[in-house]
Amino acid sequence: MSDSQGQPAERPEGEPGGVPGARTHGLPAAAVFDALGAAYERAFAGSAAHRASLDRLLEHLAPGSRVLDVGSGTGVPTARRLAGAGHRVVGVDVSPVMTALAASQVPDADFRCGDIRKMAWADGEFDAACVYFSMLQMARGEQRELLGRLARAVRPGGLLAVATVPVDVAEVSAVFMGQPVVVSSFGEEEFVALVAGAGFAVEERHSVLFTPDHPAGEPEPHLFLHCRRI
């Protein structure tokens, strides 16, 4: 998992990192990532696939692009890489602790603490959006709705870099880095179709198996997509 977002409403939605089973309960995303703080960044700092995805995005961004980072976490590596390359980054995260860390680590970016599902953006406001593993504590319907909203917020021809844990689960209990959570996700082909159905042309996909650098870390599949707004 990488970066945080998605505050459960009436029913908690989830994260990867456990064997699917009967749904019980999970902590809200803000509580999970407030508790993890900088430990989360350390656990995922070794993801070569994430760094390669950012390299690919940077190759295709025009100078000074405005980029929305959904679930910006501690700001590292995503916002730091983008802001360091001269892009105008707006990061959104539901965790106050993560947002404060990001603001201190990446002062050149604009970080906002809040629920991305409740924020309004102008049509075509962004040249690109990044969504690195930050929908996994949202229900499936919420993930579909968010992708549609991002398609409106990103200008035609703009870019989307999105990553997920491609497993076919809906609202099942799991433990992520010691935190009780609830998982919702899609299998790889279904997720690709979901992104395409939102209005993005999927131009590239990459799958890897990654183990977080954490005592409770277990191998998990990661899927990275690079897309263009139709």
- Alpha-carbon dihedral sign for residues 132, 135, 140, 144: negative
What pLDDT does residue 10 have? 34
Mind listing the pLDDT tens digit for each residue in 139-198? 999 999 999 999 999 999 999 999 999 999 999 888 877 888 888 999 999 999 999 999
Q: Does the pLDDT at position 35 exceed 80?
A: no
CA distance 41 to 98: 10
Burial 132-159 (b: 16+ CB within 10 A, else e): bbbbbbbbbebbbebbebbbebbeeebb
Q: Are strands 126-132 and 66-70 parallel, antiparallel or unpaired?
A: parallel
What pLDDT does residue 5 have? 53
Mean pLDDT on 32-37:
69
Residue 200, CA distances (Å) to 50, 128, 210, 228 in order: 20, 12, 26, 5
pTM above 0.75, yes or no: yes
The answer to whether 58 and 80 have CB atoms below 8 angstroms apart is no
> For residue 46, what pLDDT band results from cuts at 50, 70 and 90?
confident
What pLDDT does residue 26 have? 72
Percentage of the chain lying above the pLDDT 70 cut: 87
